[in-house]
């Protein structure tokens, strides 16, 4: 038994390779970008003979703009899905197809937000990397050799001053933790000798 779809105003769009897409014009009429609305015959301007000619149709009454623009059925449906729901499958396909169809402010806002999030993520990762470099928790992470490192238990003390040494993280071996002391000029001179 086939499932039925209730469409209040169905329209058949002829796409590249003579594939067809059927969309419900009523559900996108108020949210459709202006150029695509003209292609679909939804714009008041496209009805007006003084401004734009009517949407192109073939002898069967199907809209033909997608075929003439070489837009595949899947790419066209990706645009309609985005317009209706905001869902993005492949951003590259969607941007390319929507550009052919005149663009979309909603898609532009989505892309700008996505790029801002990627930039924020990159900035966060860079800040995290720089922070880890300035404040390493293990000898392996101390690539600038800022600290003297010892593995010991939590009660270990070097005896000089508890302020000199600080405990960081578990070593992964027995019950030892990494202790660190910031290198001073004296420590560097002692190591050189």
Q: What is the pLDDT along the chain (193 residues), one digit of tens a residue?
A: 455 556 678 899 999 999 999 999 988 988 999 889 988 888 765 445 556 677 889 999 999 999 999 999 999 999 999 999 999 999 999 999 999 999 999 999 999 999 999 999 999 999 988 888 888 989 998 988 899 888 887 776 655 556 788 888 888 888 888 888 888 877 665 565 5
Architecture of domain 10-113: 2-Layer Sandwich (3.30)
pLDDT given at position 185: 74
pLDDT given at position 106: 95
Structure pTM?
0.65
pLDDT given at position 160: 52
In terms of Cβ atoms closer than 10 Å to its own Cβ (0-12, 13-18, 19+), residue 157 is: exposed
- The domain segmentation of the chain, as residue ranges, is 10-113, 134-192
pLDDT given at position 46: 45
pLDDT given at position 69: 96
Phi, psi of 75 (to 5 degrees): -70, -40
**Which residues, at least 6 apart from 186, have a Cβ–Cβ distance to it below 8 Å?**
none
pLDDT given at position 107: 96
């Amino acid at each position: 038994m086939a499932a039925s779809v209730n469409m209040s105003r169905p329209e058949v769009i002829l796409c590249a390779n003579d594939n067809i897409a059927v969309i419900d014009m009523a559900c996108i009429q108020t949210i459709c970008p202006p150029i695509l609305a003209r292609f679909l015959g939804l714009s008041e301007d496209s009805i007006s003979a003084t401004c734009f000619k009517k949407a192109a149709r073939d002898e069967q009454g199907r809209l033909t703009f997608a075929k003439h623009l070489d837009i595949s059925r899947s790419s066209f449906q990706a645009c309609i899905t985005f317009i209706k729901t905001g869902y993005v499958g492949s951003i590259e396909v969607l941007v390319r197809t929507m550009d052919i169809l005149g663009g979309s402010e909603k898609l532009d806002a989505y892309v700008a937000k996505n790029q801002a999030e990627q930039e924020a993520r990159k900035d966060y990762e860079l800040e995290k990397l720089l922070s880890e470099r300035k404040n390493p928790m293990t000898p392996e992470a101390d690539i600038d050799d800022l600290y003297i490192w010892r593995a010991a238990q939590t009660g270990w003390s070097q005896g000089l001053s508890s302020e000199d040494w600080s405990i960081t993280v578990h070593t992964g071996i027995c019950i030892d933790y990494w202790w660190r002391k910031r290198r001073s000029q004296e420590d560097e001179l002692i190591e050189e000798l």
